[in-house]
A and B are shown apart, each in its own frame.
Chain A
Amino acid sequence: MILLLMFVGLLVLVTLSVPIAVALGIVAVVAMILTSGAAVLPNVGLVMFDGATSFPLIAIPLFILAGAIMNATGISRRLIAFASALVGFIRGGLAMVSISASLFFAEISGSAVADVAALGSILIPAMKKRGYSTPFAAAVMSSAATLAVIIPPSIPMILYGVMAEASIVELFVAGIIPGVLGGLLMMLIAWLYARRHDFPVEDAFQLKRVWQTFLEAGWALLLPVIILGGIFTGWVTATEGAGLAVLASLVIGGLVYRELDLAQLKDAMLEGGIQTAVVMLLVAASALLGDFLTELQVPQRVAAGIMEMTTSRWAILALLNVFFLAIGLFLHSAAAIILVVPIVMPLVRAAGIDPVHFGLIVTLNLGIGQQTPPVASVLVTACSVAKADIWEVSKVNVRFIAVLLFVLLLVTYLPIIPMSLVDLFYR
């Protein structure tokens, strides 16, 4: 009964446009008073503090900071130049550059929104100038950024790892093969589209230019090697790797390239602080509600209820996929992970699904959610950079969303694709 009231209350509050984090808090506080009386209220202060002190989650502001430094020091520009020398000669060259630069950039920032904002503001105008249609430019940037988020490091994966108590390092490793596979598929789609619409090629392929831009970008290309190498070999934890990313991008940007736009960095840090706080307030408020749900054994009951209907792992995965795709339409991915993952984890474990495998499924699912309106953070960012209409962009974007869905199906039903590297190195 109280559960039903809580759910309805939450729904009403969110519909009223109360921020989700505050809505969670209100529902939890009211439920606490109803069940245990006002005497327990001081606990609110304690739980809200403890809920915000998670060591693994420190990686989130640090990776945001590293991405901001990369932008303020011209590292992203050099990555684009290198990608352009490498794949620019193909038909629709700039689209190829967008996809491959996204995959590179993702190896340092871990956020699709940051990816699209940083690279999109350079590449979308460039594509428009070369005669690409605006909706196509926005769509390719937007979808490539989402795909890139499954390539480590990845902020949604860090959140998932904490919420599901799964290994963040293994999640990172699991994303590599599907990410690269999806990138190649997207390039194929972009190439077909470019051929049909006769988009231009960039400069012809020259080994000399590749070498030159490689030397320019060499240090920047070293960044992922340092960060991911450190994390994967177990030399540093994911959080410490994020700290390392900050240091390495500062050293490379500030000392090697000697470019550091301090004003831009300050703005980016402020924005990064806000982004972190928005997510962390959700985490803290959900801790308040989480205690309650655990007490009522909600996740266990959900698991038991669904296991009664079916025990087939594949059916349960299909069910969860549909569920997460539906949620992704209406919720931001951070909010969805924080709210839903703790509730479905007992089911996932009971069905014998590997939490790392499931983490990749969730990340991809919610990534697709970032491309599908009404709530689609990455698409909205791409459209605002491109000054394009969301629906026009979506018409082109359907092709790239199809690639993302295809990768999702592969990852879901051929666990060997994400898990082979994990099994090889960590199990």
Chain B
Amino acid sequence: MASLALIVLLGVGFRKFGAALVWYDEVAAILLAWLTYYGAALAALRRAHIGVPTVLQALSGTPRLVMFWTAEALVLAFFVVVAWAGMQVLAVIGGDSLVSLPWVPARLAQSVIPIGAVLFILAELVSIPDGLREDDEAEVHEPT
């Protein structure tokens, strides 16, 4: 987040001095994607993703457990697909590089998808006990 702020400021600074940095918006946008997926894994660890747990919270006993595990399985399955798709993309783009910075391989930027997805899966697994225990106190993690 701090580096994102730094790059945007650098970008503005250089533009005002008449030497626009061609790479600044591309790199900043890639950093946002990184923040998204690494942050998403962290959010999964804290069970902070936006959902509608109303029905789950109303249930108890076996129905609640069945529902909980179904939802977990679906989330995990989705990120397995994303991780796999991300690996395929890495294979396809091969030796390509960023448009504005030819010495940075595009693989580096795109690697966030498979890595982020695997981290998400790990975080989801690690936080399962929290999810099971979770009481009905909702925490708010929304920036609006």
Contacts and interface: CB of A to CB of B under 8 A. Distances in A.
B75 A280 contact: no
Contacts of A277: 35-40, 42-43
Interface string A261-284: 000000001111111111111101
Given A21-B50, A240-B11, A377-B142, A29 B36 contact: no
A61 interface: yes
B68 to A, nearest CB: 7
B1 A272 contact: yes
Contact of A334 (B74, B85, B144): B144
Interface residues of A, number: 75
B1 A61 contact: yes
A380 interface: yes
Given A19-B51, A41-B85, A49 B143 contact: no
A384 to B, nearest CB: 8
A193 B49 CA distance: 38
Contact of B143 (A243, A247, A279): A279
Contact of A44 (B46, B77, B85, B143): B85
B74 A332 contact: no
Contacts of A275: 141-143
B52 A14 contact: yes
Contact of A19 (B50, B70, B82, B112): B50
Given A19-B75, A277-B40, A281-B49, A57 B32 contact: yes
B29 interface: yes
A416 to B, nearest CB: 27
A327 to B, nearest CB: 12
B86 A45 contact: yes
B137 to A, nearest CB: 8
B138 interface: yes
B89 interface: yes
Contacts of A332: 50, 142, 144
A276 B39 contact: yes
Contacts of A284: 36
A48 interface: yes
B75 A281 contact: no
A17 B35 contact: no
Given A17-B56, A58-B4, A62-B8, A271 B70 contact: no
Given A29-B78, A113-B144, A45 B12 contact: no
A411 B37 CA distance: 37
Given A277-B37, A280-B39, A22 B75 contact: yes
Tell me which of B4, B8, B92 has the highest count of chain A C-beta atoms within 10 A of its own C-beta. Answer: B8
**A57, A275, A366 interface centre (most CB from chain B within 10 Å):** A275
Contact of A16 (B1, B31, B67): B67
Interface in B30-68: 30-33, 35-40, 42-43, 46, 48-56, 67-68
Contacts of A303: none
Interface in B71-102: 71, 74-75, 77-79, 81-82, 84-89, 92
A156 interface: yes
Contacts of B75: 18-19, 22
B144 A278 contact: no
B118 interface: no
Interface string A228-258: 0000000010011011101100000000000
B2 interface: yes
Contacts of B113: 45, 48-49
A159 B87 CA distance: 30
B110 A247 contact: no
Contacts of A270: 42
B85 A243 contact: no
A165 to B, nearest CB: 17
Given A42-B89, A53-B33, 16 more contacts: A17-B53, A19-B75, A48-B82, A49-B113, A61-B1, A61-B32, A155-B143, A243-B9, A246-B5, A269-B1, A274-B46, A275-B143, A280-B36, A332-B144, A334-B142, A375-B52
20 contacts: A13-B71, A13-B74, A14-B51, A16-B55, A16-B70, A21-B50, A22-B78, A45-B88, A52-B33, A53-B30, A61-B32, A269-B1, A271-B141, A276-B1, A276-B36, A277-B40, A277-B42, A278-B40, A281-B49, A334-B143
